[in-house]
Structures are given as C-alpha cells and as structure tokens.
Amino acid sequence: MRDFLNINMATSVNKSQFLFMSILFLAIVSSATGKIVVHQSTLTLSDLPVWKRHAGYWISNQTFLSSNGKPYTIDSWPYSYGVYKGFIKIEIDGSNVKERGIYLYTPLSRRECYIRKCAGKPTVLGNGKCSHNSNEKVFKGEFKATDEIGNLAGTFNSGALNANVSTTVIGDDSVLYRFTIADNLFQNLLTTVVGNTKVRTGQFYSGNKSVAASYYRERKVSEAEWHRALRQARRKYRVQREDYCGYFVNDVRTGISCAEWFA
C-alpha cells in the first residue's frame, strides 16, 4: 500500500484521479479482508450535507419490538419499550462525530407490575414504585471519518455493551450504520434525515436469528428546547433525580452524573 500511496503526483495522474484510486484501493482491501480499514482523514464532515444534517439536538419518539411484533421485554428492565423517548446530542468536530443520548421509558401498567411480581421479576429499579416511577438509560458513540467521502468507523458504548460501528453514506440524506460485537452482526440501522426530521429503523440479530426491530422518529430542536423537553419528560414519567443518567443499556448502574456523561 505504501508504494501505491507514494505515486508521483507529477505524473499524468491528477489529484482527483489519485484520490479516487486511493479510496478504491482501500475499499478493495476492506472487501478482501472483511475488516474495516481505518486511516487518518482530514475531511471536515460538516461540509458534507448528510453529516451537517445529523449535527445538533434531537428529540425522539421510539418503539422497540421483539421478533413477534410486540413491545420488547427483558427480565432485568421493568419499564416499557412500547413507546418511549430519546434525547440525543450529536457533535461534529472536523473528521470526528460524538454522540450522547438518554432514553426515558414509560412506567408499566398496574397489570404489568402484577404479572412481573407474580413471575418473580423485578418491578422497579432504585427506590421508585412500579406503575408510578420510570427510569432512564444512557449511551454514547464515538466515530471518525475513514475516507474522504464521509464513511465512519468507531464504537457504541453503554456499560458492558461495546459494539464496533461502521457507516456507509447513501446520498445526501441517508446513512447505514452497521454494529458488530466480536465480529458478529448485532444491528443494521438505516438513518434518513429530511429537513429537521430523522427516521431510524434498526434490525437486531443474535447469531443468524432476527431478535428485535426499532423504529425511531426524531425531530431537530434548539438546545434550549431540548433541555426543556427533557425536564418535562422526566416529570411526566416521574423519573427520580437520583436515577438521572442512572443506567447503561445493559441495565447496570452508571455511577456518574449527567454532567460527566455529556462532558
């Protein structure tokens, strides 16, 4: 590869041809090895329409479904995945993308609390009360441009859940995120941004089996509206202050404050 990248620019190969050949070569290497090839990029992602549209503050209405089409459930999380809220902040700095988010879940119904209690499953985390108080989770993503056309590679982290992520830009409005854990496909997430709205649809896998799907509907807002809506949602779902940014995606305590998480 060193010989390829040391082509004399004074030859008949002009700069644009050289750039195209470099990207093509990296793509061929990636395809042949099945691995993500990461190299330093000087690209300013905010110059690209698709990433410029991603940057900012987003509020999301979210639905997470099991493979049977019903709201996802898990023994360790006694709150509803049927309809819940997301608050996401995306920052772009040169060739880097930083994403931080909070998910707020709705309380279970009294019937659901009774069913979980009878089954010996937890009905609340922390000091709240089932059917009255809810809770929230946090996640983060760190990505960097891997080429000059805006594709990224990086990680998605939330406690013990750590996934490698690569993206494929599909035009000026869409990006496909691919999440893997231990080289196994975990999620494909198609994201489309039109105006100030964003839709994300995810397919989740365990081995060769489809296990869940997500449907997130988001709108871009100002920083002030984002903070105001977050406060309102916490009051509506009666999330206790001690639980703010309190849990990772794998339902384990974070042990840090929201200020530390969003730093």
pLDDT (tens digit, 0 to 9) for every residue of the chain, 263 residues total? 333 223 232 333 333 333 333 333 333 233 334 444 445 557 899 999 999 999 999 999 999 999 999 999 999 999 999 999 999 999 999 999 999 999 999 999 999 999 999 999 999 999 999 999 999 999 999 999 999 999 999 999 988 889 999 999 999 999 999 999 999 999 999 999 999 999 999 999 999 899 999 999 999 999 999 999 999 999 999 999 999 999 999 899 999 999 999 98
d(CA 3, CA 185): 34
Residues 60 and 16 in one domain: no
State the number of CA atoms in the 13 A half-sphere of 77 facing the CB.
23
Residues 99 and 2 in one domain: no
Residues 198 and 164 in one domain: yes
Residues 31 and 143 in one domain: no
Residues 16 and 52 in one domain: no
Residues 125 and 23 in one domain: no
3-state helix, strand, coil in the chain (%, to 5): 25, 40, 35
Residues 127 and 25 in one domain: no
Which pLDDT value is given to residue 37?
47
- Residue 189's nearest CA partner among 199, 198, 178, 181 is 178
For residue 29, give every residue at least 6 positions away whose Cβ sits within 8 Å of its Cβ, in sequence order, or none. 1, 37
Residues 128 and 11 in one domain: no
d(CA 165, CA 153): 6
Q: Which domain holds residue 105?
A: 41-261
Which pLDDT value is given to residue 41?
58
Residues 46 and 31 in one domain: no
pTM (two decimals): 0.82
For the chain, the domain total comes to 2
Residues 31 and 83 in one domain: no
Q: What is the CATH number of the domain that holds 161?
A: 2.40.128.20
Contact 167, 176 (CB under 8 A): yes
Residues 128 and 89 in one domain: yes
Residues 81 and 108 in one domain: yes
